[in-house]
Amino acid sequence: MAKQTAGPEIERLIALLARLPGLGHRSARKAALALIKRRTDLLEPLAAALVEAASRIVACQTCGNVDTLSPCSRASSAISRSISVPADFLFLMASDNHPDRRKAANYTLPSGERT
């Protein structure tokens, strides 16, 4: 285990950032330092956005996408006649331009559910 070089709050921030995809411990440490250096214009707004997102984001009852509404804006869109419903809803958020989109199942909204 790495030697602790900061207070427990900063080490916790680094450990949590390191759990994000694509961030190792060194990158998480750099990101934490950048957040701390830009506390008022980056750290505090990010913390507030995370708290709000955690309290408002829900899984769509129709397609499993994540949004602040259920049904989500994608499922309730009049333009969308069918929507992709992959097993992993995070894949759904990026599926529009993803080369493996064909792996997603299609769910067609019944005509009564279209807006």
Read off the pLDDT of residues 85-114 as tens digits, 9 standing for 90 and up.
Answer: 555 555 555 555 555 554 545 544 454 444
Please check whether residue 83 is in contact with residue 75, taking contact to mean a CB–CB distance below 8 angstroms: yes
The structural domains of the chain, with segments of one domain joined by +, span 8-56, 58-113
Tokens of residue 58, six digits: 């829900």
C-beta atoms surrounding 97 within 10 Å: 6
- Distance of CA 86 to CAs 1, 7, 102, 114, Å? 37, 41, 10, 20
Q: pLDDT digit string (tens) for 17-65?
A: 999 999 999 999 999 999 999 999 999 999 999 999 999 998 888 777 8
Q: Is 91 exposed, middle or buried (0-12, 13-18, 19+ CB in 10 A)?
A: middle
**CATH dotted code for 8-56:** 1.10.8.420
